[in-house]
Every structure is written in C-alpha cells, then in structure tokens.
Structure 1
Amino acid sequence: MSVPKNAFFHACIPPLLIFAVLAKSLWFGSGDDVVPLTLAIFLTGAGGGVISTYFRLKNMAPTQMESNAILQVYITPIMAGLLGWICYAFFLTGMLKGPLFPDFKGQAEDYKNIISVFSITPATSLDAAKALLWAFVAGFSEKLIPNILDKLAAQAEASGSQDKVTVTVTAPTSTNSDTSF
C-alpha cells in the first residue's frame, strides 16, 4: 500500500494543535488564562506520543507504511495523553515514589468532590516540572505505564490483601545500573 498524498498534512496537525494550545496559554495567557497543570500533563504526554510516532515512522519506506499510519498519527496523541494522566495519578496516590518523582501537597485533605482531587498540587515548581517530564516519558514510552500496572498487579496478587502496594524507583548509582519499575 502507498501512503496517501496528504499524509504530511495529517502528520503536522497533532503537533501543531498541541503547540497552539500551549503557546496560547503560556505566551499569550495571563493570570487565570494559563493552562491548568492537568491539561499541560495531557498535552505533554500527547507530545511524547507524537515524537515517538515520528521516530517510528521516519525510518519506514513509503511502501512499508500501511494506510492506517494516518489514523495512528491522530490516535497516538490521545492515548499518550491518557498515559500521561495515568502516570500523574500514580504520583498523586503515592504509588510511585522516589527522588525522581514529584512530591505533592494537599493529599491529606478530605474528599469533597472530583475537584478536590485536582486541588492536590505539586509541592514546588520543580515537582511540577518532574510531573511534566514524566508525562512526556509516559507518552513517549508506550510500555512504561502498562509495565508499572503489571508490576503493581503482581505485587497486589502476591500480598493477597488490600495492603498498600508501592513501587519505589531509585536512581542508578553507576553507569551499569538500571532503574527498574
């Protein structure tokens, strides 16, 4: 199958939409117009997914691409944004902890409604930056969040109870060490 002639046009739409929303909010917004962190998490994850897709597609010959490549260009940012949110939820719950991950304030507040969940905020600007970076990584690496989910499920089954299951990640101490999830 050949790639449709308008494939380049379609491939440009998702990153341009992501850039437009972020640019409008960050450069032209003021005060309350600034993009909320939850939207920034989604868009950063989506951006990671877009870049991952382009790395996969750039090395393919046009004759190897299937007609669903255009569909993948649109679906990947949505899925990657959702993975960014799931990663953020792991941080909010404290299920992913370690020096590489963000800390939050407001976690001990009583639940009132769904808005109270989103009132949990990063403790510092550095923690917000860590959350954005991990959202990008979650969107870029399609297997990261599913691997974490698999590990949590295995730990929950092994514990045989509803005890809190936590994945702790430590930074590598040498160049030969791997960070494991």
Structure 2
Amino acid sequence: MDRIANIHTLTKRLIVMTAISLLVFSVIFGISYFFNGRLMMTWLGFVCGIIGGFVSIQQRIKNVSDEELTLLTNSWFQILLVPIFGGVFSLVLYCIFLAGIISGNMFPNFYIPKPSGSVPDANFMIELFTKTYPLTGQDFAKFLFWSFVAGFSERFVPQIVNNVADKSSEKVNPSDR
C-alpha cells in the first residue's frame, strides 16, 4: 500500500472508532441517567479524553513516518492505545481538579458533597461519584475542554503529575537539594 492509501485507511478506522466510542458511551450515559437521574462526570471526562486522543492521531497522521503509518494501519490495538490513554489521563486530571492540586480561573470548580457523618462511608462514595458537578456552566465547559486536552496532548497530564511529584519531594527533602 502506498502512503495515501494508508492515510485513508487509518482515517476511516479513526472515524469508525470515534463513532463506536460515542455510541458505547452514549448508551452508558443513557443507562446511568435513566437509573440514577444523574450524569456521571467521570464517564463524560473519559469520553472527551478518548475523543481528544482520536483527534490527536488524526492531526499527526501526515507527519508520521512510513513505518509508523504502516503499524497504525495494520493494528487496531495501536489505533486504540492513544485514545484509551487519553481517557485515563482525563480521569487523572479530573482527580487533580477535585483535589484542588491545580486551580485558577482557567480551571473548573466543582460542587463536592460532604459526608453526612463524621466518617465517610459507602453512601458518601456513591454521592461523590453521582453528585459531584461543575459549579457553573462555564465550569462545565472548562471541564469538557480540559478533558479533551488531556486526551489530545498525551504529555499534558504526565507533565502535571511530574511537576506535582517534584514539588512534593522538594517539600519532603529540602536539604537533599
């Protein structure tokens, strides 16, 4: 196969996988909304990360080497790997937002339920997953945007994690530096 044919094949596979991802997660959204009456932000963030990963691959197709293009064209696993990582990175970023590790005007703020008793229990964990929401419409849009970025830029979340780890080790061992 020549390069143009490989690009067309890969583009078709990316479109198919994006459509399947949207369909599968739409069904999950529908089921969770139907049974709980709530939209879980974790699923939404994961989907945005996956879509960001698919868009990232599509954007890079023209710049990859012929060997890498052949590998991507011949392997569904390779096509799925980047978007799945994007989904995972978006979940890590969601945890970073909820923990308040990064904050500011560019990042979303969330309503996080408080435990009803003095000690968190199983009911609190269920409420944490089902009742944690962005505070405003702008926060919701910021959450969607950053979830997409987490999937699109495969280095973004790992860099945040590395920066946080470096800063925390500096605070633990200031004399070592």
Task: Write out aligned runs for 1:75-94 (5 A).
Answer: 75-94=81-100
- Identify if the C-alpha distance between structure 1 residues 5 and 155 changes in structure 2 by more than 3 Å, giving closer, same or farther: closer
Aligned to 1:16: 19
Aligned to 1:104: 110
The alpha carbon displacement at 1:24 in A equals 6.2
**Structure 1: runs of 5+ lacking an equivalent:** 162-181
CA contact (8 A) 2:10 2:72 kept: no
Aligned to 1:53: 57
Aligned to 2:161: 149
The alpha carbon displacement at 1:112 in A equals 2.0
- Identify if the C-alpha distance between structure 1 residues 98 and 10 changes in structure 2 by more than 3 Å, giving closer, same or farther: same
Match of 2:142 among 130, 136, 145: 130
Aligned residues: 159
Does 1:74 pair with 2:80?
yes
Distance 1:4 1:100 in 2: 36
Match of 1:117 among 111, 128, 132: 128
CA contact (8 A) 2:107 2:142 kept: yes
Distance 2:84 2:168 in 1: 29
Structure with the larger helix share: 2
The alpha carbon displacement at 1:18 in A equals 2.8
Give TM-score, length-normalised by structure 2.
Answer: 0.74
**Structure 2: runs of 5+ lacking an equivalent:** none
Distance 1:5 1:105 in 2: 44
Distance 2:142 2:64 in 1: 33
**Offset from partner CA, 1:100-143 (integer Å, 9 cap, x none):** 11111225436323324323221122212211110000110111
- Identify if the C-alpha distance between structure 1 residues 64 and 108 changes in structure 2 by more than 3 Å, giving closer, same or farther: closer
Q: Which amino acid aligns with 1:137?
A: V
Distance 1:132 1:10 in 2: 24
Matched residue of 1:19: which SS? helix
Q: Which amino acid aligns with 2:135?
A: A
- Identify if the C-alpha distance between structure 1 residues 19 and 58 changes in structure 2 by more than 3 Å, giving closer, same or farther: farther
The CA RMSD over aligned residues, in Å, is 3.1
